[in-house]
Structure 1
Amino acid sequence: MRVLVTPINNPEETITKILKNFNIQLEGKKVFVKINAVDFRRGSYTSPKTIAAAIDSLYNLGADKVFVMENSTQGNFTRLVFKVTGIIDVIREKGAKAIYLDEEKSVRVKIGEYEVDFPKVVYNIINDDSSFYLQSLRRLRP
């Protein structure tokens, strides 16, 4: 396992540095970014500036299409949280696409001895070598 510890002065530069350091190849790939948008209270969602920087960085590194996804909790609808926080405006402005996991169809997946409903879109991403999944940006705050 490799770890990179770096200050976050400029989110776009930091994200680009991380992806380049790990030699991530994005040319022609669909990239799926999992953000945090639990609620619309400050501190409970990824900064729209950080999301914008991530989208810019991913496109600059050759991504074919960028998708930003979340499944809000605490009784919220992801679509509502994206709207109130301005996240949806950033996603559209940057040419990405929102995926509201709470509105997606699910598939039954066996994990250990349990069967759970899992968002079909995420299941497909995991099983598709032509995609790249960038997990939670919650720790990347300017």
Structure 2
Amino acid sequence: MNDAPRLDHQVCFALYSASRAATAVYRPLLEDLGLTYPQYLVMLVLWEAEPKGVKELGVDLGLDSGTLSPLLKRLEAMELVERRRSAEDERRVEVHLTPAGRALSGKANAIPQRLAEAAGLSAVELEQLRSTLERLTDALHSSR
């Protein structure tokens, strides 16, 4: 009898596999928008509320400045966002959507529905999964 841990019993592997599968579904949808998945995440945060400080954006996405800065530079080069010093606090850099960045949100509206269709889960099941994953993430962050 082998008591070694099994790959197919590991939550971490199930999460990893699901993440890779979801990203694979997103890839062609995002190619139509000219975005990578990390760029899409930045745009989602900004479509929800902008401007956002660079630090706030990093906290929202769980990204450090070394990862976020190149993403923002690329989005700026694509003329979807622009970074500006805050009028109230010149130490604070804010990220603003450009008109092209705002317009792109309309083209992205169908993406969540397409992922839901690909997942074959009901809206209720997807919401339960998202909620469970958020609780898992919070618990794991708290355990460090």
Q: TM-score, normalised by structure 1?
A: 0.32
Q: Which has the higher strand share?
A: 1
Q: Which has the higher helix share?
A: 2
